[in-house]
Amino acid sequence: MNRFDYVRAGSIAEAIAAASEPGAAYLAAGTNLLDLMKGGLTHPTRLVDVTRLPGLDRIERLPDGGVRVGALVRNADLAHDADFARAYPSVAEALLSGASAQLRNAATTAGNLLQRTRCPYFYDPASACNKREPGAGCEALGGETRGHAILGWSEHCIATHPSDFCVPLVALDAVVEIEGRAGRREVPLEAFHRLPGDTPERESVLEPGELVTAVRLPGEAAGFAAHSRYAKVRERTSYAFALVSVAAALRLDGGRIGEARIALGGVALKPWRAREAETALVGAAPDAAAFRRAADAALAGARPSGDNAFKIELARRLIVRALTLATAGTPERMPALPASVFAPASGDPLHA
């Protein structure tokens, strides 16, 4: 590990000032950052500890019926907050499907948004990677690409974003609150992460020194609570990142779909909002034929980035599965294996 300065900030203003210096990075739980430092993949010259900043560890109910989740709220605390889980069940299900209980007890809201890709070529210092070293090339191209992108990728990077949490957040129009030297601003989460283009080293819209302070969900998003699910396919049922994941939420009106929300994970360098699929479902009966049309619309622009064409069909089928689960209804209790494709299609809980 390289030598670095350590600064414990006492206020948001102090943190921003300290982190605005070149080479600085924010430190919260460090569940991803410290691994990257130990592996020699990132070399911050200063760590700005934000874990004691006041007010960032709160879950606040808002006047519009929405919720504001502080940047330092732990993943486990948010998933197990009963009011939050009732209002945003797909978000709670996504959180509980990620990592291990130990990591969920440490990982934070903002850290989850900002975690870096798990592309094995990014993690291998001997491999060329444009994210680690701009202009070095992308050794994943032509390599082992089973887990890589099928949407939004470029010749400079074919990695995917690893978050489960972000997928239903994007579907539900979450907003990221940011503080920086220029003041406070808000960015829709859908626009927060960047596609690789020719600058894959830039993963978000954050400017140097900017600090994520909260994520906000609008009150109207809770209107999907009765028909909202998260489904995830992975190499093993637990402790694994998604090959493909889908957040699906529906409003049903008179036996028809009044509104739909769909987002995909594991398919691009950002959580992927499938707006064409959502539009295709409005006014349709919630049946397999409509779900297949929506899946085709969602994947119309997909293309393999190597030997991973199977992910396109996998994503189609998982969209149908997630929409079927959402139509059946949100379980009263969390399934024993959250987001597992082995959950019964009826939407009933696995355990009383």
277 forms beta bridges with none
Beta strands in the chain (DSSP E): 5-8, 24-27, 46-49, 59-61, 67-70, 175-180, 183-188, 211-217, 228-234, 242-253, 256-265, 272-273
Residue-wise DSSP of 178-233: EEETTEEEEEEHHHHBPP-TT-TT--BSPPTT-EEEEEEE-GGGGGGGGGEEEEEE
Query: What would the pLDDT profile of 285-299 be if each residue is shown by its tens digit?
Result: 999 999 999 999 999
Query: What would the pLDDT profile of 102-126 be if each residue is shown by its tens digit?
Result: 999 999 999 999 999 999 999 999 9
In single-letter form, the type of residue at position 109 comes to T
Query: What would the pLDDT profile of 65-115 be if each residue is shown by its tens digit?
Result: 999 999 999 999 999 999 999 999 999 999 999 999 999 999 999 999 999
| Residue 170, pLDDT score | 98
First to last CA, the chain: 48
**Residue 67 to residue 180: CA distance in whole angstroms:** 22
Read off the pLDDT band of 352 (50, 70, 90): very low
Place of tokens 């990014």: 122
Left, alpha or beta for 235 (phi > 0: left; psi -120 to 50: alpha)?
A: alpha
List domains and CATH numbers for the chain. Answer: 5-49 (3.30.43.10), 227-328 (3.30.390.50)
Answer whether residue 349 shows pLDDT above 80. Answer: no
Q: Which two tokens stand for residue 114?
A: 């900002």
Q: What are the start-end ranges of the H helices in 46-156?
A: 75-79, 82-87, 89-96, 101-106, 109-114
φ, ψ at 26 (rounded to 5°): -80, 145
| Residue 328, pLDDT score | 95
Neighbours of 11 (CB within 10 A): 11
pTM recorded for the entire structure? 0.97
| Residue 350, pLDDT score | 39
Query: What would the pLDDT profile of 125-146 be if each residue is shown by its tens digit?
Result: 999 999 999 999 999 999 999 9
Task: Fill in the DSSP letter of residue 117.
Answer: P
What value does the mean pLDDT take over residues 182-203?
Answer: 98
Mean pLDDT for all residues in the chain: 96
Answer whether residue 157 shows pLDDT above 90. Answer: yes
Query: What would the pLDDT profile of 259-286 be if each residue is shown by its tens digit?
Result: 999 999 999 999 999 999 999 999 999 9
Contact status, residue 202 vs residue 215, Cβ threshold 8 Å:
no
Q: Identify the residue with better confidence: 115 or 1.
A: 115
